């Protein structure tokens, strides 16, 4: 059962005067009294209209949606946040569907899948193609299929958000949240939602090519700490491929034409060695990241156990109780070990 008193509806805005009042009133009608509009310094009547509709309005100290979300969460005292855009593209009636997995204990972070019920005209063909490409790139790079990582309709616990290392300034915030959820093992669920077209009088702040390019670049950059084997390995393979091409050309010129290309031969050799070193570095980095994530999960389990013991009034903790998380990790490691290594 969703408890609206424990939820704060967060709506980042910038020049959304045409729709913000209807959005705030829609969530009010669903029983949500804690509504925070974090505005990016709109030049229209967004702030006044939001306040008139009954929302708490704050103006962000920086710029960009990413900065607005981070600052807003720091101002929220409720344990659960429901985040939506202020352009009337998401339905307030589906808020309970978004929040149910959190209150049922199934998830800490919920993403609304816009593609499940996208209304005609809600997204251009270019944006659909770009979204699908980014989602596939995310799945390939980070090894998790979340269907719609760019969705702006999300629900999450403030505790899980605080575990994420966020730095995105603009529209890359959704991508960063998805990557960080995978990296920090935040339980994430995707639920189907309806995605409506923007009203004709409302103008989008999204620039497909610029923002899409930034998102893809951000996805690749974040692989450095979440999937270093892919990050360094891809550069290493590219360098090795260039080296092979140069060495092949030099060899052909020497054997068939009798022409020596000493500089190109040196460059090809360096490229091959550099590529090999990067691949090896990627393998080692991946081992370190995996080990670090396992230790973080162990510490989190211990912390959760201690919190549970405190809630039940237990003041003395035995060594066997503290060792539970370690035994769980050992069991997981044993399951992950190939059979031949256990013999």
Which of the given ranges, 83-87, 221-225, 287-291, has the highest pLDDT on average? Answer: 83-87
pLDDT category at 122 given cuts 50, 70, 90 is confident
Q: Is residue 341 part of a domain?
A: no
Q: Are strands 154-157 and 109-118 parallel, antiparallel or unpaired?
A: antiparallel
Helix axes 173-183, 208-226, angle to 10 degrees: 20
**8 Å CB contact between 225 and 144:** no
- The mean pLDDT of the chain is 84
Residue 95, domain extent: 4-225
Based on the domain organization, do 251 and 158 belong to the same domain?
no
Q: Starting at the edge strand that comes first in sequence, how are the strands of the sheet with 35-39 ordered?
A: 56-59, 35-39, 7-13, 80-83, 154-157, 109-118, 188-195
Based on the domain organization, do 164 and 260 belong to the same domain?
no
The predicted structure's pLDDT at residue 341: 40
Based on the domain organization, do 140 and 168 belong to the same domain?
yes
The predicted structure's pLDDT at residue 337: 47
Of 159, 191, 225, which closes a domain? 225
Q: Is residue 205 part of a domain?
A: yes
Based on the domain organization, do 140 and 206 belong to the same domain?
yes
| 3-class secondary structure, 230 | helix
Based on the domain organization, do 221 and 232 belong to the same domain?
no
Q: Is residue 343 part of a domain?
A: no
Please give the residue that has the higher pLDDT: either 278 or 34: 34
Based on the domain organization, do 220 and 233 belong to the same domain?
no
User: Per the structure, how many domains does the chain have?
Assistant: 2
276 alpha carbon, distance to own chain's centre: 31
Based on the domain organization, do 217 and 111 belong to the same domain?
yes
Based on the domain organization, do 244 and 133 belong to the same domain?
no
Of 203, 225, 247, which closes a domain? 225
Q: Is residue 312 part of a domain?
A: yes
pLDDT at 339 over 50: no
- pTM summary value: 0.72
Based on the domain organization, do 149 and 279 belong to the same domain?
no
**Distance from C-alpha of 64 to C-alpha of 82, rounded to nearest angstrom:** 19
pLDDT at 331 over 80: no
Residues 186-237 pLDDT 10s: 999 999 999 999 887 666 666 666 767 777 777 787 777 778 888 888 889 9
Helix%, strand%, coil% for the chain, nearest 5: 55, 15, 30
**8 Å CB contact between 195 and 89:** yes
Residues 91-100 pLDDT 10s: 999 999 999 9
Of 225, 255, 287, which closes a domain? 225
pLDDT at 25 over 50: yes
Q: Is residue 67 part of a domain?
A: yes
Based on the domain organization, do 172 and 243 belong to the same domain?
no
Compute how many other C-beta atoms are within 10 angstroms of the C-beta atom of residue 325: 18
Which of the given ranges, 28-42, 174-188, 214-228, 279-293, has the highest pLDDT on average? Answer: 28-42
The CATH number assigned to the domain holding 50 equals 3.90.550.10
Q: Is residue 60 part of a domain?
A: yes
Q: Is residue 22 part of a domain?
A: yes
Based on the domain organization, do 244 and 140 belong to the same domain?
no
DSSP state of 94: G
Based on the domain organization, do 156 and 211 belong to the same domain?
yes
From the list 324, 287, 283, 286, the residue with the least C-alpha distance to 306 is 324
Q: Is residue 342 part of a domain?
A: no
């Amino acid at each position: 059962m969703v408890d609206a008193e424990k939820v704060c509806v967060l709506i980042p805005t910038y020049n959304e005067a045409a729709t913000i009042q209807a959005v705030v009133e829609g969530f009010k009608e669903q029983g949500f009294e804690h509504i925070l509009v974090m505005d990016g310094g709109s030049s229209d009547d967004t702030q006044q209209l939001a306040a008139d509709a009954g929302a708490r309005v704050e103006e962000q100290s920086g710029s960009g949606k990413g900065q607005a979300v981070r600052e807003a969460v720091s101002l929220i005292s409720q344990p659960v946040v429901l985040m939506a855009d202020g352009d009337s593209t998401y339905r307030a009636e589906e808020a309970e569907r978004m929040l149910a997995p959190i209150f049922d204990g199934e998830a800490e972070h919920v993403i609304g899948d816009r593609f499940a019920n996208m209304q005609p005209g809600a997204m251009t063909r270019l944006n659909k193609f770009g979204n699908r490409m980014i989602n596939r790139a995310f799945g390939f790079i980070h090894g998790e299929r979340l269907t719609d990582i760019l969705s702006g309709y999300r629900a999450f616990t403030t505790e899980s958000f605080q575990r994420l290392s966020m730095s995105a300034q603009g529209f890359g915030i959704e991508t960063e949240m998805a990557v960080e959820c995978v990296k920090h093992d935040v339980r994430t669920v995707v639920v189907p939602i309806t995605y409506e077209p923007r009203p004709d009088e409302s103008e989008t702040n999204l620039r497909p090519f610029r923002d899409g390019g930034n998102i893809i670049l951000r996805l690749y950059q974040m692989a450095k700490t979440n999937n270093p084997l892919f990050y360094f390995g891809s550069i290493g393979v590219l360098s090795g491929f260039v080296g092979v091409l140069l060495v092949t050309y030099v060899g052909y010129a020497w054997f068939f034409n009798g022409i020596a290309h000493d500089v190109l031969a040196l460059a090809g050799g360096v490229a091959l060695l550099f590529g090999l070193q990067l691949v090896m570095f990627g393998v080692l980095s991946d081992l370190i990241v995996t080990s670090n994530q396992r230790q973080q999960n162990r510490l989190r389990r211990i912390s959760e156990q201690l919190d549970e013991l405190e809630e039940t009034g237990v003041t003395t903790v035995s060594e066997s109780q503290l060792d539970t998380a370690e035994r769980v990790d050992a069991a997981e490691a044993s399951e992950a070990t190939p059979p031949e290594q256990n013999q």
